[in-house]
Structure 1
Amino acid sequence: MKTAMIYLYSAILVIGSVPKLRRAKKIPESVPYMEKANQIFHTPATVSKKVVKKTKTNVTVVGKEKLIKEPVLFVCNHQGIFDILILLGYLDKPIGFIAKKEIKKIPIISKWMEELKCVFIDRSNRRAAIKVIDDGVESLEAGQSMVIFPEGTRSKSSTVNEFKSGSLRLGTRASVPIIPITINGTYRMLEEDKGKVKGANIQLTIGDPIYPDQYKEMKHNHLAKYLQDIIEQTIEQSGE
């Protein structure tokens, strides 16, 4: 019953956000980019935090002082579906995502994602995937921080699957800082118990920014391995 109630509660919050979505779409282009981004981001962040709290989950954020004002590429491991809500609700910085094209079919949520400058990828279409990189670079250059999950799919555990290097081109082409973020515990909220939602203790660990002059000589596969190692070590240090 709890799982059904969480989904119902989430649906009510999403439907209730429609008037704010309409207002977000009407924000004039003359408004400075980050001011506009913060206005738009407030509602998805608030909804996400309310849903997470409803599950009776505790979230601890470590390293928030390492966040910087400029646009960055956040590189995260991907344990579960709730990763996105945790990032939206607790990172305290406007972010967009590289998302599967199937999400475009979800009413209201897909429209909010468009406002957040998310880009949608069709993994079966290589040419379309290249276009996604171009769109993501454009968002970063405009001032929007982006999130990628280089594993490509949920691990559904504390294990970190191999990072694929292709999506890192968003950061290297835009020449923005790259910040690793370790998400730990979200798989316990849904994936661990056959799709039943339950509370968990989550830790979101923000790593040190890696600036362009630090990674410019690195090959993408080496950069991917370096970021994966940071995240794996952070999980190991937590005692998982």
Structure 2
Amino acid sequence: MLGVLLVTAPFDRGRYTVGYLFRQVARVTVTLNPLWRFRTGGQMPPDPRRPYVVVSNHESFVDILLISHLPWEMKWLSKAELFRVPVLGWLMHLAGDIPVKRGFGASAAEAMARGREVLARRVSVMIFPEGTRSTAAELLPFKDGAFRLAIDAGVPMLPIAVHGTATALRKHDWRVSRSKAAVRVLQPVETAGLSAADIPALKAQVRRMILAARDELAVELG
């Protein structure tokens, strides 16, 4: 990946290519695991270089592996601790992912500024608006950051829903279990003309979309 970065850096300031190659590691990991059966669905964006703020519910660490099967590159807003994990953290840095320290306002502001830079380079940003993995059936409250970023940058939201990963790798338990899981890409939600005052309504709309799609996936997966 370092070689790819050095070759592509002069004409790929958004690190789209090196990031996309990094996500292929996730695909290989899933392919090599006989316990997991993952699939993707929904309406994929026709232009992979049109930037979106992509948001999803969050069931498991394995969500990252599942969502990485989608056919376009996104820079992930991830907790800073992951960037200190050997190999994984190094690859995330190379890919151009965005670290954020929980509970530090300055770190969150810096992450949002990085997010705007990424979007300006025509690369999407991926955020879990719940902020952490949920162990309950109900979605956790959505935080404002992703929605504020989309409005400030003037780009659409792209909701996606995941289901089934909670059984693949449970929170606080690194034992891998059998799982059927799916991710579905939903309709984009435009933010043109919106302001900070519209964030509550935008959050509610996107949350309803994700919840409905997640429940549909639960029925389909059985």
Tell me, yes or no, whether TM beats 0.5.
yes
Which 4+ residue blocks in structure 1 deviate beyond 4 angstroms?
214-218
Kept after mapping to 2: 8 A contact 1:55/1:199: no
Contact 2:130–2:141 at 8 Å: present in 1 too?
A: yes
Q: 1:198 to 1:53 in 2, by over 3 A?
A: farther
Q: Does 1:211 align with 2:190?
A: yes
- Where structure 2 has 5 or more consecutive residues not aligned to the other structure, the ranges are none
Q: Is the 8 A contact 2:22 2:95 kept in 1?
A: no
- The CA deviation at 1:158 is 4.1
The SS at the match of 2:187 is coil
Deviations 1:108-130 (A, max 9, x none): 22222123221111122112211
Question: For residues 168 and 67 of structure 1, do their structure 2 counterparts lie closer, same or farther at Cα, with a shift above 3 Å needed?
Answer: farther
What secondary structure, in the 3-state scheme, does the structure 1 residue paired with 2:107 have? Answer: helix
Contact 1:33 1:143 in 2 (8 A): no
Cα distance in 1 between the residues matched to 2:87 and 2:218: 39
**Alignment-mate amino acid for residue 175 of structure 2:** K
Which string of whole-angstrom CA distances, capped at 9 and with x for unpartnered residues, describes residues 137-163 of structure 1? 111111221100010100135431111
- Distance change >3 Å, CA 238–CA 25, structure 1 → 2: closer
3-state SS, counterpart of residue 148 of structure 2? helix
TM-score using structure 1 length: 0.81
Quick check: 1:164–1:221 contact (8 Å CA) kept in 2?
no
Question: C-alpha displacement at 1:177, in angstroms?
Answer: 1.6
Corresponding residue SS for 2:205? helix
Query: Alpha carbon RMSD of aligned pairs, Å?
Result: 2.3
CA contact (8 A) 1:117 1:144 kept: no
Q: Which amino acid aligns with 2:187?
A: D
Gaps of 5+ in 1: 1-20
Which residue of 146, 156, 177 maps to 1:198?
A: 177
Aligned residue identity for 1:219: D
- Percentage of matched positions with identical amino acids: 21
CA distance in 1, matches of 2:140, 2:16: 32
Q: Does the alignment pair 1:22 with 2:2?
A: yes
1:103 aligns with 2:50: no
CA shift digits 1:81-105 (9 cap, x unpaired): 00111112x1111111111111121
Deviation at 1:194, TM superposition (A): 4.3
Aligned residue number for residue 71 of structure 1:
51
Match of 2:113, SS state, is helix
Change beyond 3 A, Cα 1:120–1:239: closer
| One-letter amino acid of the structure 1 residue matched with residue 56 of structure 2 | C
SS in 2 for 1:132: helix
CA contact (8 A) 2:2 2:94 kept: no
Number of residue equivalences: 217
Conserved 8 A contact 2:16-2:73: yes
Counterpart residue number, 1:136:
115
